[in-house]
Structure 1
């Protein structure tokens, strides 16, 4: 039995990037031998096991042959007879098909090191077209590595255009699309995820609302020459994937009659949905027409004391979408949040009011204070 470090860990190590997780391939073993050695099964369908001490994934070398429709329609073969080279050749991109042995030997059967040096995202074989998930993955790698000059190879882009026209593309479910998209928001250049999918024609079919909204819009302060200007801007200000997703998806959501239904259909997580709804609530506010009462009501819905992260995320996303408007309104938003922290004023404390009447009087008092600042 031999083990090899493979995939992203090798790629990122060669690029001098942080290695966040390590995957291993085991050659010359069987499920029974792995279990007897103390490994635990990590997957009921694939021969992947967890190390008894480190918890890292160790997968038996395997091959995959297309046997049905969809990205799960593969016949998997594994066992002691499968070689490392066979396992590497089944992978998606050359830069993800390199390995390092236990003794430190470097194995590269697909030319991954050359493509790494030349900044190429290149498929290994035409079997790349058999799995539509690979369209999402290569778009995510473009977002992760684009700042180092990585681009999709021409021949790979040609295959991607073919995949984008195939019926099998629509076998991708919402969970998988959102999983790859949300991971892209944590990369240095998340806008490349959308650009790569749009250029090959996949985005238009998978998430047409993005093409009709974000990618076709120049709403508000967005630069007509750069449909991803707000996302580019917010990337410099926030590393929070939730903030970035709110900025990237806002224009699309703003064009929908039932935005919450769309967000749930695409499995956007709870924090992301909440941020988008907060941005939609704030969207009609203007620097000229904003009223103290409306601002106070809005800030109260954000619950800055109980949910400070929600308030910070809103501010960061709104700065990305509407920088000039936020510059004018942020002092009023922050002052409103400060008012919510103040104890009950003495005149109301001694007023004898209770319940709803006291709440209405307190709100009116806060509006007066805010109005004084605004004027």
Structure 2
């Protein structure tokens, strides 16, 4: 039995990055031998075990053969005669196909270390094209390592295009796709994830609504970058730069989908794109079964982001309706996330990345003024039900008028 450290732990150590999870590979062992040593089996599809003391994952060396469509369409073979090289060749990228023994010796049959040094994301073997999930994984790695100067190898991008053209991407489940999207959005440069998907044609298959934004112009006076797709990538980049949470990043990605449906004769203006975008945002939300928090915020940002940009001009009644829509009294964080997404939208414009956004403080102040209205005096007057609701609304409107005037 030989035990090797494999995958990300080896890659990140060589890159000088912190190593969080360690995966172990066991060559020359049987399931029975592992269990006899106290390892607990956890893998449903292939033999994976938890170490009796550390609970780290140990997998038996295995080979795989394509047997169906999609990420799960593989038959695995694990036995003591599967070699280290045979196990490593089934992995996605050369930089993930390295191993270390207990003495720290590096095993690198597919030249992953050289690709690390050259900053290249390259597939290990032609079998890469058998797993459609790898299109998303490679795009995610590109987003993660973009700050270090990594790029996808031309031949790997060609294979990703081949997977896209094969129709295999449609076989991916919503859950698997979302897991990759979620992780990619939280990387240092999530816009690179979208750029790579677009470069291999996968964005048009996975999110045609987003792909449709590229090449659609906006008024240069407000958007010096002109292109709606480029603007969306810039907004997403700003959300990462400002370390926004997942829901904000998702909303940033989808906020302008309506612009992709504007008739060409109306370009570069996009009247009512906020409302037109709602059914598109809904479709993308449902396609990937995004978490409820992400879905709700994306729809609200899509519909109301221009309200936020015009916050200083809004009439007190419109302002109150906006606050009511967000339920700022019971869900203050959702309104904060909305403001954050709108600020990223304002900053995601060429040359305007560092411009002040006074609307953010103004809306926070408005929310605070509305929240400060005390319901107790109204209750003491004997008001209940609808009458109490109307009176409370009136008091909040008065507070917002005073706030706006002051």
Fold match, TM over 0.5?
Answer: yes
Q: Flag the 1:338–1:154 CA change in 2: closer, same or farther, 3 A.
A: same
Runs of 4+ in 1 over 4 A off after TM superposition: 216-222, 323-326
Residue of structure 1 in register with 2:242 after alignment: 237
1:299–1:333 CA contact under 8 A, matched in 2:
no
Task: State how far apart, in whole Å, the 2-side matches of 1:188 and 1:48 are.
Answer: 31
Q: Flag the 1:373–1:298 CA change in 2: closer, same or farther, 3 A.
A: same
After superposition, where does 1:11-50 map in structure 2 within 5 Å?
A: 11-50=11-50
Could you tell me which of 328, 331, 347 is aligned with 1:307? Answer: 331
Residue of structure 1 in register with 2:304 after alignment: 282
Q: Which segment is superposed worse, 216-225 or 120-129? A: 216-225
Q: Flag the 1:340–1:53 CA change in 2: closer, same or farther, 3 A.
A: farther
1:248-306 superposed Cα distances (whole Å, 9 cap, x missing partner): 12222752536435412321111111211221342352346522222223223434453
1:74-113 superposed Cα distances (whole Å, 9 cap, x missing partner): 2211111111111111111000011111121111111000
Question: Would you say 1:272 and 2:272 are equivalent positions?
Answer: no
Residue of structure 1 in register with 2:282 after alignment: 260
Residue of structure 2 in register with 1:356 after alignment: 386
Q: Residue 346 of structure 1: CA displacement?
A: 7.7
Residue of structure 2 in register with 1:173 after alignment: 173
1:128-148 superposed Cα distances (whole Å, 9 cap, x missing partner): 111111111100000000110
Report the 3-state secondary structure (helix = DSSP H, G, I; strand = E; otherwise coil) of the residue aligned with 1:81.
coil
After superposition, where does 1:1-375 map in structure 2 within 5 Å?
A: 1-213=1-213, 215-217=214-216, 222=223, 223-225=225-227, 226-227=230-231, 228-252=233-257, 254=274, 255-257=277-279, 259-285=281-307, 286-287=310-311, 289-304=313-328, 306-323=330-347, 327-342=357-372, 344=374, 348=378, 351-375=381-405
Task: State how far apart, in whole Å, the 2-side matches of 1:58 and 1:216 are.
Answer: 48
Q: Flag the 1:242–1:287 CA change in 2: closer, same or farther, 3 A.
A: closer
Q: Residue 153 of structure 1: CA displacement?
A: 0.9
Task: State how far apart, in whole Å, the 2-side matches of 1:219 and 1:84 are.
Answer: 54
Any gaps of 5 or more consecutive residues in structure 2? 259-273
Aligned length: 374
Q: Flag the 1:307–1:42 CA change in 2: closer, same or farther, 3 A.
A: farther
Q: Flag the 1:256–1:282 CA change in 2: closer, same or farther, 3 A.
A: closer
Q: Residue 217 of structure 1: CA displacement?
A: 4.7
Q: Residue 182 of structure 1: CA displacement?
A: 0.7
1:238–1:316 CA contact under 8 A, matched in 2:
no
Q: Which segment is superposed worse, 279-288 or 165-174? A: 279-288
Q: Flag the 1:295–1:281 CA change in 2: closer, same or farther, 3 A.
A: farther
Q: Flag the 1:83–1:296 CA change in 2: closer, same or farther, 3 A.
A: same
2:98–2:107 CA contact under 8 A, matched in 1:
yes
Task: State how far apart, in whole Å, the 2-side matches of 1:349 and 1:128 are.
Answer: 67
Q: Which segment is superposed worse, 69-78 or 341-350? A: 341-350
Q: Which segment is superposed worse, 173-182 or 235-244? A: 235-244
Any gaps of 5 or more consecutive residues in structure 1? none
TM-score by length of 2: 0.85
Report the 3-state secondary structure (helix = DSSP H, G, I; strand = E; otherwise coil) of the residue aligned with 1:297.
helix
Residue of structure 1 in register with 2:263 after alignment: none
Q: Which segment is superposed worse, 13-22 or 283-292? A: 283-292
Q: Residue 70 of structure 1: CA displacement?
A: 2.5
Task: State how far apart, in whole Å, the 1-side matches of 2:217 and 2:56 are.
Answer: 46
1:209–1:252 CA contact under 8 A, matched in 2:
yes
TM-score by length of 1: 0.91
2:297–2:334 CA contact under 8 A, matched in 1:
yes
1:213-238 superposed Cα distances (whole Å, 9 cap, x missing partner): 4x455568553253311112222212
1:238–1:244 CA contact under 8 A, matched in 2:
no
